[in-house]
Structures are given as C-alpha cells and as structure tokens.
Structure 1
Amino acid sequence: MEKKYQVFISSTYTDLIEERQKVVEAILNAGHIPAGMELFKAGPTQEDIIKEWIEASDIYVLILGPRYGSLNKDGISYTQWEYNLAKKLDKPMFSLVLTDDYIQKMTEDKRLEVKDLEISDQSYKAFKKDVFHSLVVNIDHPAEIRSGISDCIRDIERRYPEKLEGWIKGSYLNELEELREENKKLSLELVTRQGEVIGMQKKAKPVKDDYIGEFSFDAIREVLEASVITEEQFDDAIRELETKKNEYFSSEPEYDEYVSRISYARGSSALQYFVYSRSRLLAKQFQKPKDNPLDKIINDNFVSLWEQYSLVVKQVVVSGTNFKLTQYGMKFIGMLDIFSVENEK
C-alpha cells in the first residue's frame, strides 16, 4: 500500500529560494508531499498556522544556510522556533546544512552580499551546534540535495515507522479492509501449518551455506541488532565530549564535521551502523575509533563486535589505523542484501 508522507520544509527564505525549490522537487520525486510557508511572511500572526502545519506533517526538514533569520518576540529566529517546535512534538527530523564552501560560492555568484552573512553571529553558531546533534547531511553542491532528501526519508521510514502516519488514497480504503480480512484468514492457515514449516526449515538448514566463519548468519545478525547505542547514551557522550573537545579537535569545523558523520550512531544498532559504514569499509577508509567519549561507545558497542565475528580487520595506513572488510564481512554484506530483498517481498 503506497503511503505518502507530508514533509515540512523550514528555512530562511530570500537567501534560500533556489535550495527550497530543489528540496520541494526532491520530496516530490521521492513520492511525498512538501509543505512550507513560502507564501507567508514570518510574524506572530502566522505562528498558529505554522504550528498546525508542523503538527500535521510526518517529517520536518531544516535547510540551514548563511543566515539566522528574523527574530520573534522571544528573541530567537522563526526558523529556530520552528525547529524547536518540531523537536518538542517529537517529529522525525533531519537537516541539510550548507557547507562554508557552498556559502562562499553563493557570495561569488552574487546571490547574497558578504555583509548579509550571519554565520559568525553567536545565535547562529549556537543554533548550528544544536542542529548537529541530530541527523545532518552536509551539502557541498546543489546536486547533493536530492540524494540527501531521499536517503534521509528512507532512513526515517526504517527507524521511526511508528511515528509516520502518512496519507493514502481514499480509493485504497476498501482495498485495505479487504486485505485485513484476508490477512486474518491467512494467519489462521499459517498457524495450522506452523509445525510443517518449522520441520522444512530444519531440513533445509544443513544444506544452506549460511555460516560466516564459525557462526550462522542469523546468529551474527541478531547479536548485532541487539547491541544498540541509545539516544540517551549518545547524548551523554556528546555532552562529555563538548567539555573537552579541544583535546581531540583542532578547530570547530573539524568537530562539527565529526559530529555530523558520527550522528547516525544515535539510536542505531551495531547492524545498522555496519550497513551505514559499508562504503567506507569497502574503501578501507573507516578509521579506528579513538579514545574520545563518542568513539569509545562506538568501539565498545559496534566495532568490537564486528572484530569478534571477523567481519573487519585493522589495516595500518599513513594517516593511522583503518578498518577494512574481511572475506567474512563481504559475505555478510551480500547475505544482508539478500535478506533485505526477501523481507521486502
């Protein structure tokens, strides 16, 4: 049953007209419904309307560009007010953050004057730091917006299905009721045949090459799924790292880039983070976790398990120590892909 999600777009307006249009197009191309307040000026008379739109939306997306934006009566920008409201409502959310290079190109192309930049304002910096504690995609080029939107929506569908109501066509309602009735009948039939199915599985198991080294694929998958870094654990580690970040990072941009890259671990399992990291592992560019508080929980909860089941191995390179996939890791990824396809049928 095809379901469309309403996605609320939040940003400053005049400086990001082109980016907002690309986000709208990306949401439509992904088969969902964009919602925003382009046609309304920011002001107190609009806050109730904006609140209703955000409450009615399934997903909130922020575009953070070169400006903090006009302030409301409480002294924060309307964009940050929308962001805070979405967090308070516990909406699944993500942010597209334009990089310094992107913003520099905007000034070179005369899309805005240097004097209009607000990236050095303390309010902007504090807001950006808060944004980097949730799911973030750094945008270096307009072409990256479309893939960033589709990837994040898919990730939210996977991680927070219980929070997504979505929309379906009215013509589907009768079909949905028929499917429910049919599902009840099929469930009864499946229960009666459960013993037969289990027997068949037992006979098939020895024949299938479903082992990764000494352990079965299912056993490893279940162990990795069970090892989770909770949002509370992640946030505690972030707060601890904030107090000593100068010990580990030479600049604020370096720290922000690190937090952006690592933020996927928040609420993820060792299995999800393994899939997320597959491209870096394949390219032998997954760096060995260091001794900062965030890297420590990633090593303890994720990487140590990957090593335990011989999915990855350390490799010394010029810049330090990286991890790469072993033959077992390659096989495990292939079996994960097959498992995902079979479970989508």
Structure 2
Amino acid sequence: MIHREILGDGSIRLAKDGCSFVFRRLRPGAMLVTIAGRDTGGLGDAPLDELQAEIARYPPIELYVDARDATFAAESVSDAWTRFFSANRDRLRRVRILVGTPFVQLVVDVAKLFSRTGELIQVESDARRFEEAVASAAPAPARAPSQPGLPRAAEPERAAEPARAAEPAVGPGAAPAGVAGATASAAIRREVLADGAVQLANDRCSYTFRRLRPGVMLIAIAGHDGGEFGELPLDEVRKEIARFGPAALFVDVRAVTVAAPGVSDAWTAFFAANRATISRVRILVGSKLLQLVVALSKEASRTGDMIQVDDDPERFQAALAREAAPERPAPRGPSRP
C-alpha cells in the first residue's frame, strides 16, 4: 500500500518499500521533487500523477529533481520517466536533476536520451549549484503587514451545519504542495453538508462552496489560512468549471483573519490561468488589509475587469441574488393561426 501524507510545510510525501518521493511547490510553476531510497516500481504511476496534476495547474512548469539519495531505479521506473518526459516536453519549461551515484546518473542519462527532449533536461552532480538554482526559483515572499488590532473572526453559522457525508482530502494534486507560509495543523476534512454544499476545514480555517445554480458558485472563507489547504480550494472550483463551463464566482472573505502570502499567490496564478473559463468574480472584503491584498492580486493577475472587489454586503448580496435566480426562457411570440 502506498503511504501518502501531507507534511508540516504543506509538501506531499509518497512512500512504499523503502522509497520515498517528496513534492514541494516552490512557487506556482516550479516544483522540487526529492527522491530517496530504492525505487523498484512499487509506487507505480503515483509520483508521475502528482506531477501531471501540477502541470495541469500551471503549465509549463520548471521541475527540479533531487535524486542524490536515490540508490536504485528499476528498468520499469526509467521507462515510465522516459515516457513522461517525452509526452510532456511542451509543458516542461526546464528539468534539472541532481544525481549522487554513477548508477543513477546512467539511468537518468538513458531516460534523457530516449525521451528525445534535447536540452530540456540538465543532469548534474554539483549539489551546491543545484541548491542555488532551487533557491532562485523560490524567492522569499514578502511578509504581510502585522495586524495587532485585527480581531479573530467567529466561524459562520453555516459551518456548523450537520454533515451528510465526510471523506478525506485525497487524490492527485488534492493536498497542498509546499505553499509558502504553511504550518503544521490538524488534518484537512472534506464534508458534504446537509444542503449539498462542500466544506474544507481544519482547526483554524474553513472554505464552504455552494452551487447557486450551474455555473454560479458562492465561496465563503473564514479563519486563519496559513497555506495548509494548498490547491484543495482551487481544485473544487476547477471541478465546477469542468462540469458547467465558464463560471461566475462570488467570494465572501469577510471572516478571514489572516491569509499567508502563498495563498494570495496561488489565487493570483489561478485567476491568470483561468481568465478564459471564469466569466466574472465578485469578492466581498471586510477589512482594509484584505481589500489591499485582493486589489494587489487582481492587478497581478492581469484579468482586467473580470474581478470586482466589494466592501458593501448589501450590494454583494443583491448581485448574488440576481445571479442565483434561475434563467427564464425568452418569451415566445404569438402563435400564427
């Protein structure tokens, strides 16, 4: 059985039979994969599924693979990576692989040769140079200003609705992958509430997703989001877009007390990447600080007038009611005799 866990910094770890892969997102579009032990093929396609999910989110990606602690790779493993590189050459910006033994270097060189990817893949044995490249791909995020007077928000009443079903947050790309600012927390829970809404929650923060009608979604966020949710909230929105096409999003962040810089970065990248599949976004803020954070994200996403920032709850609710109203068919003209 493959063991998949979320580490304290938000990375994803896969392990089985003395081999482990750790996936850490350096920033949207750049991922570090650390491999250790003997890979005899017991993990199957699970490691490549994690990468495929990241590529689907932020193509093309930069891939950094630290294989200095890998001691063996079976032929089937080498073949799978060769096929992966060949099939994704247009969605990989660059690949840099650090090796620690002559055997692993030979395996990687063979995969590079037969993938026919030219100079896309760079193989090296200099750990310091590799680490410098990784550091340059993950610039330290600017810290949010301190908030000494910001009160802690109470959880909204709807977060306490009785659950109809519960399931763990699992699946390729479902867990956070190294969002900056993430800290250890209780496990993330995914629940389907009595009214059909979906809620993601841990002990400090909750996201509640309500479909008002196909193609219109209300997202209510409450609490302290330190980045532990990673791509989970965005994956819920992606599923809605996949079902019903271009979506209108209403996002209520009045009850958010803190959002880590990496959270803002992830939403900014999401809006920029999905401008063609999101018809409009309306975000209700409750503090000047959040209004500034959202405004900066809007500007950085370069989505023009797609995003509207609102600080008036009544105006937000009125717009929400208009969008939630079922579409009526156009009146038919008088029938001819």
TM-score (norm: length of structure 2): 0.26
Greater fraction strand: 2
TM-score (norm: length of structure 1): 0.26
